[in-house]
Amino acid sequence: MQFEVLSRCYIFVVPAFNDFTFVRVSDVVQKYGTLWRTMHKMIHNILNMRAAATYVPYQDLENKQMLLDMMDRPAEFVNHIRRYSTSLTTQMIFGFRTPNNDDKKMQQLFTVRRMLALREA
């Protein structure tokens, strides 16, 4: 019951979420069915409490890397935040990290993201 009340409070957050993802929100937020159950199970497995505890070492590593980068190149603050969040996400979901802003996989992710954004516009 409490989840339903909270979900109503956050229903307006969903459009903003689309700005930060690689997929359209309409692909994830849909009616209950086979695809919904599959997506729900996948997201639950990634974000449950037991799994979240295993991400602490990744967060610690990325925090240290980000702080070191900020001390070395403070003018690139936004890029450091971008690399940090991308690296955490790719470690948790795909199993690889992006050690710097010039990382080929990171550049590919953002290229695809831009292409999807243009396609939706």
- Per-residue burial over 17-39, b if 16 or more Cβ lie within 10 Å, else e, is ebeeeeeeeeebeeeeeeeeeee
Tally of domains in the chain: 2
Domain containing 28: what range? Answer: 1-54
Say whether both 35 and 70 belong to one domain.
Answer: no
Say whether both 67 and 105 belong to one domain.
Answer: yes
What tokens does 117 get? Answer: 């954004």
Say whether both 70 and 99 belong to one domain.
Answer: yes
Distance CA 85, CA 88 (A): 5
Give 3-58 pLDDT, tens digit per residue.
Answer: 444 444 443 333 333 344 444 445 555 677 887 788 778 777 777 777 778 888 98
- pLDDT computed for residue 19 by the predictor: 41
The band of 121, judged by pLDDT with boundaries at 50, 70 and 90, is low
Give 61-109 pLDDT, tens digit per residue.
Answer: 999 999 999 999 999 999 999 999 999 988 888 888 999 989 999 898 8
- pLDDT computed for residue 30 by the predictor: 66
